[in-house]
Amino acid sequence: MAEMNAKLIFAFTVMISGVQAKLTRFSRDENGATAVEYALIIGLITIAIFTAVLLLGDSIGVQIAKASCAVQGKDYPCS
């Protein structure tokens, strides 16, 4: 009985040390944090582009239309 308890304690100790090693490795791994940082940066850039298009979309369209009229040699608004 004592031998079986010793084996169980040894197996439990080995299992705990393996889990502890994995948790230590996981806590030191920064790959996941880097991916989250990149995702946040991409999200912020997307929001900035979307906001710029919403705020400047009409004026950019007018400028393109004016340039198109100028290329055709006509005054704005041209048809």
Q: Which residues neighbour 77 within 8 Å (Cβ) at sequence distance 6 or greater?
A: 65, 69
Instruction: Output 52 or 23, whichever has higher pLDDT.
Output: 52
Residue 15 lies in a domain: no
For 67, the token pair is 């340039």
Residue 41 lies in a domain: yes
Residue matched to tokens 């198109």: 68
Residue 49's pLDDT is 92
For 66, the token pair is 């004016």
Does 6 score more than 80 pLDDT?
no
Look at the chain and report how many structural domains it folds into.
1
This prediction has a pTM of: 0.44
Residue 1 lies in a domain: no
- Residue 73: which domain range? 34-79
Residue 18 lies in a domain: no
- For residue range 26-77, what is the model confidence (pLDDT) as tens digits? 777 777 677 888 899 999 999 999 998 888 888 888 888 899 999 998 888 8
